Structure 1
Amino acid sequence: MGYPARLRAMSKQLRAQPSQLQNTASINCSPLSMLTVKKKSDLRQALQNARLVGQKIGLVPTMGNLHEGHLRLIEAAVANCHYTVVTIFVNPLQFGRNEDINNYPRTLELDKRLLKKSGCDLLFAPNNSEMYGFTDFIKTNMIGSSLTRNHCGKTRPGHFEGVATIVTKLFNLILPQHAYFGLKDFQQYRIIEQLVADLDFAIQLHGLPTVREGSGLALSSRNSRLSSKQRQIAPALFEELQQTERLIRQGNQEYRQVESEAKHSLSLRGLKTEYFNICNARSLEMASQNDTDLVILAAAFVGDVRLIDNITLTI
């Protein structure tokens, strides 16, 4: 059975058996059951037990509402590590003033059941006060690098500082040897790569390819908010990325003109483009004709649903 079919079968089975939840009240490191903890102290105790028996720890940070893309990350962690930790935390620091955190989909009970079937050993699902204290503010946060200046960093000020802060906290709490992220959030991955290098975290990062629907639409928790009509429109973002890639491979290096034409095409197809940028894949600065490793980064709205996607290429 292929992975998408396996996921659908798993989800259907779990929805049909909502009562079969394991008791996670006690702390143990049994590979036959998944432990769920909400407190940092319980997390540290469980991980200390894992380290005492020499287990290599893999981390998959998420905000929940798990989909096949998340499960691919977990599958990779389970295959490569002795002990897999998944975190579910909708991080308020990475939501801007005009972004409604309350609209972010939350499906914790279904997520737990999917995780138990996936081979996850420990789920850390803290609340805001556990991670940041009993206020809406944190007194110390991570300051963004030059990688945060443009693209999502420009249109969502403070977003990547919030991402860097929560990722740093999770790295410090969990001390994994390996951490797994999806490359759909390419800018985020590059920022975390730089964070790991700059702060000397002894962590090997793994960036896994974007998982897509049959239409080409990149999987995202936000896709659940798309109407049936919007789902017909949304794949245009990836199609435009592919068309831009073809133009570049054919030798077109008039990058600003290509970007402008892509934005116009998306507008005609019913998307409101936030940005569509051809960049150096390392610096994330706007690409010049001397660059050979490129990434095409794009964000666009379908209605009020914000989509991001990218394609990398070498010329």
Structure 2
Amino acid sequence: MRLYKKRNDIQGFITHLQDKKQEIGFVPTMGALHAGHISLIRTARQQSDFTVCSIFVNPTQFNDPKDLQKYPRTIEKDLYLLEQHGCDAVFYPEVAEVYPPGSGPAPHYDLGRLESILEGAYRPGHFQGVADVVSRLFYTIHPDKVFFGQKDLQQCRVIERLIAGNPDFDKIRMNIVPTLREPDGLAMSSRNTRLSPEELRKAPEIYQTLLYLKEQLAPGDLAPLQETAKTRLTREGFRPDYVSIVDTQTLETCGSWNGHTPLTGLVAAYLGEVRLIDNLELV
């Protein structure tokens, strides 16, 4: 497995791969890797000739400096996991390599309503940071295919819009890989490492609440169902930011359901100091 820390170095190797007509699969991560990330690597390996993973804790997408400081960093373990599972190359840059001094302010990305609803409403500027770092990584790696996890569904929609809105990215094919879960249903996440044993016992209630939405879904007004689900989480000790039933494609809240539109349930809630998100296709 090759390890690159400098943009120019990995770009030189990417050019070599392109000359050989190798199809490049790319998995951007912030490290603290778990089996969910490895499922992305596995899928990329199956669908590409050469798999690249980036590990970069992006400071511009954190609203809370304390959250950035507490984000788990396990680079030695990460590199071991990637090598064990057949990743071909890793890009592990310093902040100054991604955001060179004097490079000026980041451009504004047209993300439409996506940056102001759900996560966007609670984390202002977050998706501008995501779009900026992913754009910079795309220009560095020049991937043919990219792989993101469905757990971060709103982020996936942001990346889809980023790709569609930039002619430089028109060859990139987006792949959304299903959420990987623990046996108790908890969505795998790097943030789970910050949960106490008692919180880990409670955390699967988010998935149970999403299953409740799926089981109780019926045509008509959806507000009472969402409120009941939110109350259920609060009763279990969570502090929900939102429990929303949305149009699966646009992620706009669906106030009343016609019985046909594809819907997804999304949850964001604090358990102790840790903010967890999850989602589930309802129909």
Q: Deviations over 1:14-34 (max 9, x none)?
A: xxxxxxxxxxxxxxxxxxxx1
Q: TM-score, normalised by structure 2?
A: 0.95
1:297 pairs with 261, 266, 273, which one?
266
SS at match of 2:151: coil
Q: CA deviation at 1:289?
A: 2.1
Distance 1:107 1:308, change over 3 A: same
- Contact 1:145 1:191 (C-alpha < 8 Å) held by counterparts: no
Q: Deviations over 1:183-215 (max 9, x none)?
A: 000111111112111223211111011000011
Percentage identity across paired residues of the two chains: 40
Q: CA deviation at 1:129?
A: 0.6
Structure number with greater Rg is 1
Between the aligned partners of 1:306 and 1:159, the Cα distance in structure 2 is: 15
CA RMSD of aligned residues (A): 1.5
Could you say which residue in structure 1 is the equivalent of 2:143? 176
Could you say which residue in structure 1 is the equivalent of 2:250? 283
Q: CA deviation at 1:99?
A: 4.5
1:229 pairs with 191, 198, 212, which one?
198
- Contact 1:132 1:138 (C-alpha < 8 Å) held by counterparts: no
Could you say which residue in structure 1 is the equivalent of 2:73? 106
Q: TM-score, normalised by structure 1?
A: 0.85
SS at match of 1:54: coil
Could you say which residue in structure 1 is the equivalent of 2:19? 52
- Contact 1:141 1:162 (C-alpha < 8 Å) held by counterparts: no
Q: Does 1:206 align with 2:171?
A: no
SS at match of 1:261: helix
Between the aligned partners of 1:138 and 1:229, the Cα distance in structure 2 is: 43
| Bigger relative contact order, structure 1 or 2 (CA pairs below 8 A, ≥6 apart) | 2
Q: Deviations over 1:229-255 (max 9, x none)?
A: 00111111110010011111xx25321
Counterpart code for 1:295: T
Could you say which residue in structure 1 is the equivalent of 2:213? 244
Paired residues, number? 279
Map 1:57-206; keep pairs closer than 5 Å: 57-97=24-64, 99-134=66-101, 138-200=105-167, 201=169, 202-206=171-175
Q: Which runs of 5+ in 1 are unaligned?
A: 1-33
Counterpart code for 2:277: I
